[in-house]
Chains A and B, each alone.
Chain A
């Protein structure tokens, strides 16, 4: 199976990855050869086979919805890892603003 440039750019947008035009032939070749290998799965009879979820058979694991305290030190370190912040406030780019205007 091979992918067109249009398909590769579509996947890149879904994946939120910038792909440079000069990289397109390499993606086409490498993804194509992997997908060709993966197509081996078409040989399998899988009608009626269930999908594997957990080896030991766990399905849903529930717990009480309780608030667990976080150590102040850990909290500070998590905040410190945030690229943009003001004191304890975390700063994120606006979702609905087009800054190109």
Chain B
């Protein structure tokens, strides 16, 4: 399967038309999606837009870095005029009135948006089983979950529905499904990519990022979508410096940190060995492997499960049955709220709203919410200290490979533990990327690389080197 960079080059050089490429992807979706349920819909104007790119190219225009390349968006990013459900019943009839900033930037770069991918409801989940529109299946074993919450986007790239797809990552929702589906997934530094037009889960943690087969494709995708935006005040001006060409195929002298706290109890022994083998690849290439300590790592998930639901319950306040979305009228205003929300939200969303409301309620906010924000400072401080001595940190992305559908569905805490290695990056606002690094029982394993804030380049350098000497990323289900 071709990469986005190869497709863009073919279109630019006139070797293939965008129409032909988009049609091939639509054919694959037609043939494969019924079983996988990775996409909730395709866009009717995809071929027309592809022809538009072809015409512009024929006329001698520059069609952009992603000119003619098909891309898929998680169904929580707005595409004007298209349905956007966020995996929820409450938005089952909602059509986006405007484009998200990411959508606009992708269009400006010449990308052809072809469809929207399934996800856990409001991005709450680690398995894509919480979607109102049915679970997505893992293409490596269709009885297993693809991870989540951006499971549909991960599956779409793994099966070649598109070379690039986008997801959102609040606690691991890009990296963990990338790991479980054998593709690259990047969560950028908080503040690098605008969240305008992304259905909000937890606003201090959410970040949009790409899924791709190669690190180079992920880097190109980030370059297209990044940059400050007046419509998202948390984006950081000046952070959108262009990402240098990845000519450096060398990690000699690079300092790779391995946190001892990430290789303790609870992790699958085969996954541990696979990740250690990947780290050995760096050692062989002349990188310095340094054992580091992140002493507050064991508190990251606990503080995350206070901060995230607190912000989520606040963000989801807008779904009131009145302004937009599902509405169930009661005899009083309060009853209209309670019915619309009780019937419109699924069980996991209701659970997190309850949890967040509790953590912010009178008498408990200091013991829960404020304490979790302080823990967050400690977690960030650990990383700041570690990055004085190392350039990147290497860890497993997920403690296990993909598990059978249904296995953790009724045990929320077991499901939450699937994010144990990924939430820290969101809490500390640093970038993280998962790359395929092997298989256990024919199921993909991911290596997570973490970097300093706004130093995605270190991740790309380390990731691109790894892919230049291994071929895990070329395997297809």
Say yes or no: B354 contacts A8, CB within 8 Å.
yes
B377–A49 touching, CB < 8 Å: yes
* Cβ contact within 8 Å between B370 and A17: no
What 1/0 mask marks residues of chain A from 40 to 74 whose CB sits below 8 Å from any chain B CB?
Answer: 11011010011110111010010100000000001
Contact with A along B436-473 (1 / 0, CB 8 A): 00000000000000000110000000000000000000
B334, CB-defined interface residue at 8 Å: yes
- Known A-B contacts A41-B306, A82-B323, A83-B324; the reply to A56 vs B453 at CB < 8 A is yes
Interface residue A21 (Cβ < 8 Å from any Cβ of B): no
Let me know if B208 is at the binding interface, CB within 8 A: no
| A3 contacts across to B, CB distance below 8 A | 358
Among B378, B412, B454, point to the contact of A34 (Cβ < 8 A).
B412
Query: Whole-angstrom distance between the alpha carbons of A80 and B4 in the complex?
Result: 36
* Per-residue interface assignment for chain B, residues 54 to 81, with 1 indicating a CB less than 8 Å from any chain A CB and 0 otherwise: 0000000000000000000000000011
* Chain A residues, CB < 8 A from B370: 51
Structural contact, B191 and A54, CB atoms closer than 8 A: yes
Residue contact B357 to A38, C-beta cutoff 8 Å: no
A87 interface residue, CB < 8 Å from B? Answer: no
Residues of chain A within 8 A (CB-CB) of B122 are none
A77 with B98: CB separation less than 8 A: yes
Q: Is the CB of A81 within 8 A of B95?
A: yes
Is B327 touching A83 in the complex (CB atoms < 8 A)? yes
Q: Give chain A nearest CB distance to B418 CB in angstroms.
A: 14
A33 within 8 Å of B (CB atoms): yes
Instruction: Select one of B230, B332, B377 contacting A99, CB under 8 A.
Output: B332
Contact A31 B351 (CB under 8 A): yes
Residues of A within 8 A of B325 (CB): 81, 83
Given A46-B378, A55-B380, A77-B80, also A38-B368 (CB < 8 A): yes
Q: Is B320 among interface residues, defined by CB-CB distance under 8 A? A: yes
Query: A11 and B98 in contact (CB under 8 A), knowing A56-B236, A77-B80?
Result: no
Q: Check if B94 is an interface residue, CB within 8 A of chain A.
A: yes
Give residues 1-49 of A contacting B (CB, 8 Å).
3, 8, 11-12, 14-19, 27, 30-31, 33-35, 37-41, 43-44, 46, 49
Find chain A residues with CB under 8 A from B97 CB.
Answer: 74, 77-78, 80-81
Residues of B within 8 A of A17 (CB): 338, 341-342, 345, 350, 353-354
Size of A's binding interface in residues, CB under 8 A: 49
Q: Closest approach, in angstroms, between the C-beta of B422 and any C-beta of chain A? A: 16
Interface residues on B, range: 35 or more
Min Cβ gap A42→B in Å is 8
- CB pair A77 B377 closer than 8 Å: no
Contact yes or no, B332 A100, CB < 8 A? yes
Residues of B within 8 A of A27 (CB): 351, 354
- Return chain A residues, CB-CB under 8 Å to B299: 40-41, 43-44
Q: Does residue A95 face the partner (Cβ distance < 8 Å to B)?
A: yes
Q: How far, in whole Å, are A81 and B321 apart by their CA atoms in the complex?
A: 11
Partner of A15, one of B80, B301, B354, B412: B354
Select from chain B the residue with minimum beta-carbon distance to A54: B234
Q: Is B263 an interface residue (CB 8 A)?
A: no
A–B pairs, 29, beta carbons within 8 Å? A11-B357, A11-B358, A11-B361, A12-B338, A12-B354, A15-B341, A17-B338, A17-B342, A17-B353, A18-B338, A19-B350, A34-B355, A38-B305, A40-B298, A40-B299, A41-B306, A46-B378, A51-B376, A54-B429, A56-B189, A56-B190, A56-B429, A56-B453, A61-B234, A82-B323, A84-B327, A92-B322, A98-B332, A99-B331
Mark A residues whose CB is within 8 Å of B: 3, 8, 11-12, 14-19, 27, 30-31, 33-35, 37-41, 43-44, 46, 49-52, 54-56, 58, 61, 63, 74, 77-78, 80-84, 92-95, 98-100
Closest 6 CB pairs of A and B: A55-B429, A77-B97, A18-B342, A51-B373, A18-B338, A61-B233
Interface residues of B (CB under 8 A from A): 80-81, 94-98, 189-191, 204, 230, 233-234, 236, 239, 296, 298-299, 301-303, 305-306, 313, 317, 320-325, 327, 329, 331-334, 336-339, 341-343, 345, 350-351, 353-355, 357-358, 361, 368, 370-378, 380, 412-413, 416, 427-430, 453-454
Extra contacts, 10 of them, besides A8-B354, A34-B413 (Cβ < 8 A), are A16-B341, A44-B374, A49-B378, A54-B204, A54-B429, A58-B191, A77-B98, A81-B97, A83-B324, A84-B322
